[in-house]
Amino acid sequence: MYIEIYLTNGESIRLDDDAKIDGTFIHELTNKQIQALFAQKCIELTKYDLTYFVNTIQIAYFQKGEGIR
């Protein structure tokens, strides 16, 4: 599974199965939980060994999909 986050500036962030949002693996989150996280002011994304913060005002929309197994 992956989540593609599209930002208002046209960039996108792809989170693969081992990525985390606010410390929770993305495959453990429901769509409602993701929407609730994105309703906060800021979220912490962990991708590989990188952790960074995204102001959720910059998030236009997101899509969930199945990764290639």
Averaged pLDDT, 13-33: 93
Q: Any idea how long the chain is? A: 69
Averaged pLDDT, 10-18: 92
Domains of the chain, each with CATH number or no CATH: 2-65 (2.30.30)
State which H helix or E strand residue 32 sits in: helix 31-38
Band of pLDDT at residue 69, cut at 50, 70 and 90: very low
Residues 6+ apart with CB under 8 A from 4: 12, 13, 14, 15, 62, 63, 65
CA atoms in the 13 A half-sphere facing the CB of 18: 4
* Structure confidence at residue 33 (pLDDT): 94
Name the pTM for this structure: 0.84
Q: DSSP letters of 33-48?
A: HHHHHHTSSEEEEEET
